[in-house]
Amino acid sequence: MPIQKVLAKIRSTWMELVGQELARGMDVRAGFEEQLERFFDLLIQSVESNDPAWMDSLLLDWAKSSTESDLEEGLYQVTFIINRMIALTIHVVHENLSKQKALELLEAVVPIYTYCLGVVARYEMETRVAHISSEMEKAQKQMERMDRSKSAFISVAAHELKTPITLIDGYAAMMEDMIQEGKGVPLDSMLSGMQNGIKRLRTIVDDMLDVSMIDNDLLNLNFQPIQMEKMLDALRIELEETIAARNQTLNIELFKGSKLWIYVDPVRIMQTIRNIINNAVKYTPDGGSITISGRTLPGIIEVTVTDTGIGISQEDQAVIFEKFGQLGRVDLHSSGKTKFKGGGPGLGLPIARGILEAHGGSIWVESDGYDEKNCPGTTFHVLIPIRTEAPETKMAKLFGELDQKE
């Protein structure tokens, strides 16, 4: 009996067995049975013509269907399928044919299977190597970017630190001169000047520490129950003087949900909103206004901070939440915390994002663009998840589930 006939004889048994085992083992891909039929047809064709290249198109189709993530994880699906097919063919042949016929058939099909394995393994390896190379390229680009931003950061940080140091230095020199000249030293004003410089230094160093904690996932949140309304009120009192100094107005609109009791880390959330308001003050001309409002969405409280300031270009909107995204403009960086366009080390928004993400929330910005003349304004949206149960057992014992009655 010619070998093609023998193949035809075992076809249905082979199809059933291979179909059953392989369709079970992996995600059943649509039309798997059809694919097996096609494989078997080509196998017969290859045997007839003694040319395994008939299998190429099918093998390539299969190899291409391996997802990137399969290969990323080192799952060589198609190599595995062919290997199993070889084992199952031997089994079917052994069960259904005489020894002689079995040997003849294996002699004809094993070289074709071996060829299939070679083609598929090469393709899968090549895809994996290409994937790894592209990952390495990406990592290298990222490292180069980080390297650039690191040196930019050093120059801005040095500049940021230098200004308050110069200020403190100046006061100290003035005091020294006055003492040497036997003049009375106006201690009050000197000390308050020095304290301002020290306060600014501390803020910059604290920001750097916060960024490093966020980067290393070390931000420890201390969840406590609060009402947004109370927190915003505290911020209003805290920032009253700053806002008055710039002749600006701060409107806080109560919104649905502002009285809701939720668990957050109040210190960190206040820091976030404070950063955003300080920016609004900084990038809004004298006499402008800042409005805080919000709403409740399913599972989330959204707080919005809108200013009538210079706005942010689309290009910058994409980078301001990145660490040091705004670097490279040493010209803008002065140590004026609330001075118009005062600049800063560019850490405020990345810290805000880090804190919100640690809460399971997020932040985004909306602005029609940057225009110092027409001042299109900017709105920051802060999304905070509504937690009515304490994430920590200690707090849960203290407060239990929050009662929303006012």
User: Would you tell me which residues interact with ligand ADP (CB under 6 A)?
Assistant: 275, 279-280, 283, 307, 309-312, 320, 326, 343-349, 378
- In whole angstroms, the minimum distance from the beta carbon of 273 to ligand ADP comes to 12
Contacts with 134 (C-beta within 8 Å, 6 or more apart), sequence order:
none
123/283 with CB nearer ligand ADP: 283
Nearer to ligand ADP, 122 or 329 (CB): 329
Least distance (Å) between residue 330 CB and ligand ADP: 11
For residues 243 and 249, the answer to whether their CB atoms sit within 8 Å is yes
Closest CA to 345 of 153, 114, 105: 153
Q: How far is the CB of 352 from ligand ADP (least distance, A)?
A: 8
Nearest alpha-carbon partner for 351 in 226, 212, 156, 224? 212
Name residues whose C-beta falls within 8 Å of residue 127's C-beta, 6 or more positions apart in sequence.
63, 66, 71
Q: How far is the CB of 70 from ligand ADP (least distance, A)?
A: 40
When the beta carbons of 29 and 150 are compared against ligand ADP, the nearer one is 150
User: In the bound complex, which residue of the shown chain has the CB atom lying closest to ligand ADP?
Assistant: 344
CA-to-CA distance for 168 and 267, rounded, in angstroms? 29
Closer of 224 and 291 to ligand ADP (Cβ) = 291
Q: Which residue has the tokens 């160093």?
A: 205
Angle among Cα 38, 42, 45 to the nearest 5 degrees reads 145
Q: In terms of CB distance, is 77 or 248 closer to ligand ADP?
A: 248
- The CB-of-346 to ligand ADP minimum distance in angstroms stands at 4
Which of 294/343 has CB closer to ligand ADP?
343
Query: How near is the Cβ of 144 to ligand ADP at its closest, in Å?
Result: 22
The residues, ordered by sequence, that sit 6+ positions from 12 with a Cβ below 8 Å of its Cβ are: none
d(CA 221, CA 392) in angstroms, rounded, equals: 10
